[in-house]
Amino acid sequence: MRITLLAGGVGGARFTRGLRDHLAVHGTPDGEPAELTVVVNTGDDLWLDGLRVCPDLDTVMYTLGGAVHEGQGWGRADETRRVSAELHAYGLGWDWFTLGDLDIATHVARTELLRRGIPLGAVTERLCARWEPGARLLPMSDQPVETHVELVGGRVVHFEEWWVRHRAAVPARRFLQVGVEDAVPGPGVLEALHDADVVLLPPSNPVVSIGTILGVPGIRDALAATAAPVVGVSPIVGGSPVRGMADACLTAIGVETSAAAVGAHYGARRAAEGGEGLDVAGSGLLDGWLVDVADAGAVPALERLGLRARAVPLLMGDDAGPDGRTATGAIVDAALGLAGVPA
């Protein structure tokens, strides 16, 4: 069974890890090994102290590779900060964006390989060879596409400056995808969508993670056209993001911070039975949308849009239950169930 995911950093990484581990223990619906492909957002990428940093690719790679700092959700476990302290002594680096020593080695390796002319997709494959993530990680594009944020007032900053330095507290007017007009989907991305048996949208940020991936010319159309069922998991639970500031991103694009509004924003691929008159239905991306039990009241309205919707607990815990089942595993079962391939 070929499963393709579109992912940002922490939400996408934790969901993909739960999916991989759940299928490894409980098997796939067809009994064949699962082939997981993760198309990862590179809109957060930036140059820092001469190094190419790819925050979401690294979060997915470290999480699937068992090296992530669990409490933080990103960066390396057992990290130290000696190199960045030295850089600061030279008056370099940004004091709001610190890189750990082990993490810096990843960025040095990536920058060196890019400098040799190797495209980001191939560089990522090379870095992942060490971590054995159990999934193929594909950057959304080999070309740099950076998310910049136009703040209210007109100043434009890199996404990471808005997110990390300002904690998204300065209202955003709009998001820009710098370089997107020259970008093409990374090698394998369109095939992974076309050839998938199931496409899953993990609970990643709908605006600056999944929205950014969908902005690369060709990807949205490939997702809309795939024969595979497409099922998403809401990152919004009970009217707030589970972690992070996705609400600030949704507000900037005029979408309410609710599981129902995000589901409607992605939209239904097929119009509801007897759903004539609902002009928003039938031109979207999703067949199914999972919401948390706190948002169960939204299910009938989502179904009227033409989505298969279900409410299940959507908090991804780490703790395995007595039978080895995890919270994320239960979410995976529900998502595959909505996709019509229950385990």
151-172 as b/e: b if 16+ CB within 10 A: beeeeebbbbbbbbbbebebeb
Question: DSSP states of 307-338 as a string?
Answer: -EEEE------S-B-TTS-BHHHHHHHHHHHH
Report the residue closest to Ca ion, judged by CB. Answer: 9
Check: CB of residue 229 under 8 Å from CB of residue 288: yes
Check: CB of residue 302 under 8 Å from CB of residue 309: yes
* Closer residue to Ca ion (CB): 44 or 292: 44
* Closer residue to Ca ion (CB): 8 or 306: 8
Only one of the segments 110-118, 177-185, 188-196, 236-244 lies at the binding site for ligand GDP (rule: CB under 6 A); that segment is 236-244
* Closer residue to Ca ion (CB): 147 or 326: 147
User: Rule CB under 5 A: is residue 8 a binding residue for Ca ion?
Assistant: yes
Q: For 8-76, where are the E strands, in sequence order?
A: 35-40, 46-48, 51-53
Give the shortest CB-175-to-ligand GDP separation in angstroms. 13
Only one of the segments 17-25, 243-251, 273-281, 293-301 lies at the binding site for ligand GDP (rule: CB under 6 A); that segment is 243-251
Give the shortest CB-149-to-ligand GDP separation in angstroms. 14
Mark 202-241 with x for binding to Ca ion (rule: CB under 5 A) and - for no binding: ----------------------------------------
Only one of the segments 41-49, 144-152, 234-242, 319-327 lies at the binding site for Ca ion (rule: CB under 5 A); that segment is 41-49
| Of 253, 242, 262, nearest in space to 305 by CA | 262
Partner touching 314 among ligand GDP, Ca ion, none, CB below 5 to 8 Å by kind = ligand GDP
User: Rule CB under 6 A: is residue 314 a binding residue for ligand GDP?
Assistant: yes
Only one of the segments 55-63, 90-98, 172-180, 238-246 lies at the binding site for Ca ion (rule: CB under 5 A); that segment is 55-63
Give the shortest CB-159-to-Ca ion separation in angstroms. 8
Joined together, the tokens standing for residue 263 give: 């589901």
Distance CA 308, CA 151 (A): 37
Residues 6+ apart with CB under 8 A from 246: 205, 206, 207, 235, 236, 257
Q: Which residue has the tokens 């005029």?
A: 254
Cα end-to-end span (Å), the chain: 11
Q: Which of 4, 5, 6, 9 binds Ca ion (CB under 5 A)?
A: 9
Q: Which of 3, 11, 93, 133 binds ligand GDP (CB under 6 A)?
A: 11
Classified as helix, coil or strand, 303 is helix
Give the shortest CB-237-to-ligand GDP separation in angstroms. 5
H helix and E strand count, the chain: 13, 14
Distance CA 343, CA 332 (A): 9
User: Rule CB under 6 A: is residue 205 a binding residue for ligand GDP?
Assistant: yes
Interacting residues with Ca ion (CB under 5 A)? 8-9, 44, 56
Interacting residues with ligand GDP (CB under 6 A)? 7-12, 56, 59, 203-205, 209, 233-235, 237, 241-244, 246, 314-316
